[in-house]
Amino acid sequence: MNPPDDAVAVTTAFDELGRLSFAEHSLESVLQRVTELAAGVLPGEPVISMTILSGDRPSTVAATGDLAQHLDQTQYRLASGPCLAAATTGRTAEIVDTRSNTEWPEFAAEAAAAGCDSVLSFPLPVREKVSGALNVYARQFSAADEGVRRLVSRFADYAVVPVSNMYLYESAVERAEHLAAALDSRAVIDQAKGILMERFKLTPDQAFQALTRVSMETNTKVRDIAERFVATGDLPTS
């Protein structure tokens, strides 16, 4: 591909990214497309992956080939390597030549054995507390190339949007699940209180105290006590 063709391919790739709609694509498919387009326009026929940190646990959410998956998993297993460094520090990490690397020697040796000469991991821009990196594994180009760095940076800017949306969606689902569980717990506890109030002529506070007392005596959650009482009519004893 000659330089004019390179420019056209890059422009076309980013035009496509700009047109991607979350209404028509899943968030995962958007991430996959980002990595595929990056692999198509970066020199050296690289394989691309995207690492996301959830807590301290890394995972690969998109990849364009088995080599990228393998080298990501190698770093996760070793707990060491450029993709983890970029994701955790927010700074670009690179191996210009896997055959002469001293910072991550064990990973570099495995990468070289797998046929990967050069690695560039670019951190995703900080957004919605998301940590991650876009990883470029190549056989033919130098990770020190500034043109490559600029392109990878632009792809990372596009990638962070669906990644952050995934984080927000998962957080919203988790909050909704917690709220639903809380409402379910409240409903069964109120039902148990009502039975106690009617059976023993207790006030609402006295009924709740009876449930919590049994909870403490039996080391059982109040919700579980209430569910059993509603189902059987009997309060467990220690």
pLDDT, tens only, 72-128: 999 999 999 999 999 999 898 999 899 887 899 999 999 999 999 889 998 887 665
Report pLDDT for 71: 97
Residues 71 and 95 sit within 8 Å (Cβ to Cβ):
no
Confidence of residue 5 (pLDDT cuts 50, 70, 90): very low
Query: Between 73 and 39, where is the model more confident?
Result: 73
pLDDT, tens only, 190-238: 888 889 988 889 888 788 888 878 887 887 888 888 888 888 888 876 5
- Report whether pLDDT(173) > 70: no
Report pLDDT for 186: 78
pTM for this prediction? 0.65
* SS3 of the chain: helix, strand, coil, percent, to 5: 60, 15, 25
Confidence of residue 172 (pLDDT cuts 50, 70, 90): low
- Report whether pLDDT(3) > 50: no
Burial grade of 192 (CB within 10 A; 0-12, 13-18, 19 or more): buried
